[in-house]
Structure 1
Amino acid sequence: MWGIIPAAGLGSRIQPLAFSKELLPVGSRVEADGTERPRAVSEYLVERLIAAGCDKLCFVISPGKSDILAYYGSRIWGADIVYTVQPTAGGLCDALFRAATVVGPDEPVAIGLPDTIWFPADGLALLPTDRLSFLLFPVERPELFDAVVTDESGEVKTIQVKQPDATSRWVWGALRMPGHIFHELHALWTRPERQDEYLGTLVNAWLAQGGRAAGVQAGCSYVDTGTLHGYRAAIRLLSEPGTQGDYPTGR
């Protein structure tokens, strides 16, 4: 299974940094020899993707983010890594579909955002594998995210993209889908009348033409570290017992 990691963003909300925002040190890890070292924030997503079964990772980076390539190399924790480049900032959809050339239609896909930390760490494994499915988290300010409206059975009805009067407090934090649905979304996005910036608006269009998606309210904590406020919230979250993790460090 492929794990797609869109890491081409500028990180303007938390600048100035001397490195890519995805390498922001948040929390720590104890190595096998007992040494404690800082963790890059994106390691939390990498850990979760691999726990869900991803054995191939595709980082989408901008031309100036060679430090991510230097940090992760070609393999981590048993998963092979490839890199694709988003030449200029073009939104999340543009970043995600840079991976379309390496993902086959018969290969499942999981996606997360590398500047977020969320629990439970095995949340992606709780999602259906036969359809587009979103891992949902409750937040206090859904208008800052993509709020997902579902019916009683968990069927996604619509996604409210940064909507001030959002009617759902559940936002998506990660998702998975079969490869052929990833390519259906890509084909829809490439239509001249679309070229969506946000994944939510694209999914709404896909639902309108007959697509079906599931929203699973299994998330319990979700923090976006892209702001100073979010960074502080992540430090508080990771200070709670049992949140640091003990994933193997061999690359």
Structure 2
Amino acid sequence: MWGIIPAAGRGSRIQPLAFSKELLPVGSRTEDGVERPCAVSEYLVERMILGGADKICFVISPGKSDILGYFGDRYAGAQIAYVVQPNAEGLCDAIFRASCVVGATEPVIVGLPDTIWFPENALESLPDCPLSFLLFPVEHPEFFDAVVLEGDQVREIQVKHRSPASNWVWGAFRMSASGFRDLKALWEIRGRSDEYFGTLVNSYLAGGGAALGIKAGESYVDVGTLHGYRTAMTLLLSRQELGASRLMSKRQAKLTPLEAVALHGADT
């Protein structure tokens, strides 16, 4: 399974930065007994691997070669590929540019690299169906894409709506191979006009498509603002104190998933 990470955005809300916002240091990891800063996007990569991804595709802009330099070709046993989005033309364009590496029978999961959420293994709850969303409760859903449900069926995505009908927002989503193809085909039929994934999904639902909303998320922070950055640091500290947050060390990142599990078992 592929994990697709759209990382071509300019990050204007938290500028000026001398590096890509996806490499913003948030929290830390232990490397050979020494505590090191951790890039915000590492949290998503780890969660995707826990969710079953064995390949990661970063969709980057031409000026973001520092992401390639940071992650290289592997992370915790997962292979990493890079696809270039020449211009910032929205989330849908970024996601479907990864179609050049995604195989015809491979499912995908998609997440945003400047977010931190818990629980870490929440992606495991997403079923193997054409489209399913991992949902999180937030205090201000008007800043996100709110998901309106009927039972567990998605009825509408309210994109940054002033008065959303739900306080549950999507933080990541999964598409089967057929779901990925169908949504890409619909996006192309609509003239590639959808900047936001939510508007494309609404058209998909109106045309008879179905999507599930899974309320498995507990906490969700957008780190793309200074307020969000401070909130993320507080959240990570509280989770670490509870023993609930542990990023893979660089030593583990060089191992296959089975080797990493064996190492963790030996350490405990």
- 2:161 aligned partner: 163
Q: CA deviation at 1:246?
A: 3.8
Q: Percent identity?
A: 65
- Give a deviation string over 1:102-148, Cα, whole Å, max 9, x none: 11231010110000000000000011112311000001111110000
- 1:4 aligned partner: 4
- Residue among 170, 173, 177 paired with 2:171: 173
Please, what TM-score do these two structures have when normalized by structure 2?
0.91
Looking at structure 1, the residues matched to 75 and 177 of structure 2 have their Cα atoms a distance apart, in angstroms, of 23
Whether contact under 8 Å (1:61, 1:84) holds in the other structure is yes
- 1:244 aligned partner: 245
Unpaired runs of at least 5, structure 1: none
Task: Provide the secondary structure at the position in 2 that maps to 1:164.
Answer: coil
Q: CA deviation at 1:243?
A: 4.3
Task: Provide the secondary structure at the position in 2 that maps to 1:190.
Answer: helix
Looking at structure 2, the residues matched to 100 and 195 of structure 1 have their Cα atoms a distance apart, in angstroms, of 18
Looking at structure 2, the residues matched to 246 and 43 of structure 1 have their Cα atoms a distance apart, in angstroms, of 8
Whether contact under 8 Å (2:29, 2:249) holds in the other structure is no
User: Which of 126-135 and 2-11 deviates more?
Assistant: 126-135
- 1:74 aligned partner: 73
Looking at structure 1, the residues matched to 76 and 82 of structure 2 have their Cα atoms a distance apart, in angstroms, of 17
Q: How does 1:83-122 map to 2 (within 5 A)?
A: 83-122=82-121
- 1:56 aligned partner: 55
The amino acid across from 2:158 in the alignment is Q
How many residue pairs get matched?
249
User: Which of 193-202 and 38-47 deviates more?
Assistant: 193-202
Whether contact under 8 Å (1:54, 1:79) holds in the other structure is yes
The CA RMSD over aligned residues, in Å, is 1.1
Whether contact under 8 Å (1:237, 1:243) holds in the other structure is no
The amino acid across from 1:139 in the alignment is V
Whether contact under 8 Å (1:224, 1:230) holds in the other structure is yes
Looking at structure 1, the residues matched to 89 and 17 of structure 2 have their Cα atoms a distance apart, in angstroms, of 21
Whether contact under 8 Å (2:130, 2:177) holds in the other structure is no
Greater helix share, structure number: 2
Whether contact under 8 Å (1:97, 1:186) holds in the other structure is yes
Looking at structure 2, the residues matched to 246 and 21 of structure 1 have their Cα atoms a distance apart, in angstroms, of 19
Whether contact under 8 Å (1:28, 1:244) holds in the other structure is no
Whether contact under 8 Å (2:30, 2:249) holds in the other structure is no
Whether contact under 8 Å (1:27, 1:244) holds in the other structure is no
The amino acid across from 1:82 in the alignment is A
The amino acid across from 2:13 in the alignment is R
Whether contact under 8 Å (2:8, 2:88) holds in the other structure is yes
Q: How does 1:123-202 map to 2 (within 5 A)?
A: 123-152=122-151, 154-202=152-200
Looking at structure 1, the residues matched to 26 and 91 of structure 2 have their Cα atoms a distance apart, in angstroms, of 23
Looking at structure 2, the residues matched to 208 and 219 of structure 1 have their Cα atoms a distance apart, in angstroms, of 26
